[in-house]
Structure 1
Amino acid sequence: MIRVLVVAASSVIRAGLFAVLTSDPRLVVVGSASELDSTEITQLQPDVVLLDLSGHPQDIEWKQQYPTAIIVIVDESKSIDLEAALRAGVRGVLLNVCTESEIIATVEAVASGLVVLHPDAVEYLLNLPELSASNPALLNPVQALTPREIEVLDMLGSGLSNKAIAKRLQISEHTVKFHVSSIFQKLGVSTRTEAVTVGVRLGLIML
């Protein structure tokens, strides 16, 4: 079981995130709060903190190192100080338009020790040579898998064809091919079987 602490200023958003997380039997919500508190994190000892910052990203200055991996939900990736957030313990960045499956996939990936960033955030980081030089692990290609790519990888593990994946995700086959190509590149593989094998080994997907 993956233990998750939900943090959001809005009680409505907290309730919504609780409903999303508890829909997956592999996740358990150990508590909820209106603001990020390191003392509460220490007491509850969650594996992951899911923090909603949509609408008010500047409420946190990221001046301390938090003891647990944090996933933030924001209006847009550039609305937070991403470099400071990563140093403080943020290991996942999602936009507030993300789907329920993307949230669950990101929680599972981050709990496995990976970093899941929105493509916009990855592009921003790639333009910070001083960050990549001092923290090369933060930019490991495997760690940069997006929530959508993890979804596609999971479907590859189920043996679905590009056409079937496209139908299920309601996207074009061309887009699926793009995601598959990106997954291959990031995982350093050349076949679907290799991608699934690496994905399972890294804890990105479960068969």
Structure 2
Amino acid sequence: MIRVVVADDQELVRAGFALILGVQDDIEVVAEAGDGAEAVRAVRAHKPDVALLDIEMPILNGIGAARQICAETDTRVIMLTTFDSDAYVFDALRAGASGFLLKDVRRDDLVHAVRVVVDGQALLAPAVTRRLVDDAVRRQPRPGPVIGLDRLTDRERETLELLGQGRSNAEIAAAFTVSEHTVKTHVSNVLSKLGLRDRVQAVICAYESGLITPGER
């Protein structure tokens, strides 16, 4: 059973998402929250698999809540907003979110999103994430060195670089002349050694580590 916390300061919106998810056979809504601080407390108390967080919430906004939740727990975070903004997406991904949805998302897509992130995937294709990161990195300084990069093998560093370029598993397999199963192993090792949640975080890490520079293809 997939356990979910839904956080939105608009009661009707929050109740609507909870209702859609709650009727699924494999999903249980364990708590609802009306602000970011309450969402963090709910995650700490219930330890859900997924937290749906509205970006615009009082007391603590969704990005701040996501940052705390992702730092303290294994809960996957999906951000919800009415704003289709690259800046919001990038901030949410930097906070540790695994996905990003607009509030007018279709019912089936919402349910699919929850299942996808629980499976360890991300809701944004690597190429899309790469564009967002590329645009954001141009506007701000690169952060300090990435911890754990020296633990990667040469092949794992190459894998991280290709992930940063937005390559799919099939494309990486072709570049290495290996099977996709082998690539999945490399990707899993990269995520594990660097403490990353998913491929989206790997794209960001590739920039922060200097393996990829803005505009590079």
Range into which the TM-score falls when normalised by the shorter chain = 0.5 to 0.7
Instruction: Give the TM-score, by structure 2 length.
Output: 0.54
2:99 aligned residue (51, 76, 92): 92
Once residues 59 and 88 of structure 1 are traced to their aligned partners in structure 2, the CA distance between those partners, rounded to angstroms, is 12
RMSD of equivalent CA atoms: 3.9
**1:31–1:20 Cα change, 3 Å:** same
Cross-structure match for 2:52: 50
Task: Give how far 1:2 is off.
Answer: 0.5
Pairing 1:70-89 to 2, within 5 Å after superposition: 70-78=77-85, 81-89=88-96
CA distance in 1, matches of 2:22, 2:42: 20
Residue in 2 that maps onto 1:62: 64
Partner residue in 2 for 1:114: 121
Q: Which runs of 5 or more residues in structure 1 are unaligned?
A: 145-184, 190-194, 196-201, 203-207
Q: Which residue of 2 aligns with 1:39?
A: 41
When the two structures are superposed, what TM-score results if normalisation uses the length of structure 1? 0.57
- AA paired with 2:68? Q
**Larger Rg belongs to:** 2
Find the residue that maps to 1:24 and give its secondary structure.
coil
Shift of residue 3, structure 1, vs aligned partner: 0.3
Cα deviation for residue 125 of structure 1 reads: 2.4
Q: Does 1:127 align with 2:135?
A: yes
Give the Å deviation of 1:126: 3.9
In structure 2, relative to structure 1, the CA distance for the partners of 1:83 and 1:41 (3 Å cut) is same
Separation in 1 of the partners of 2:62 and 2:31?
20
Deviations 1:77-126, CA, capped at 9 Å, x for gaps: 42654344223221110112210111111111111122212886653224
Cα distance in structure 1, aligned partners of 2:62 and 2:52: 14
Aligned residue-pair number: 150
Q: Aligned partners of 1:122 and 1:21: how far apart in 2?
A: 30
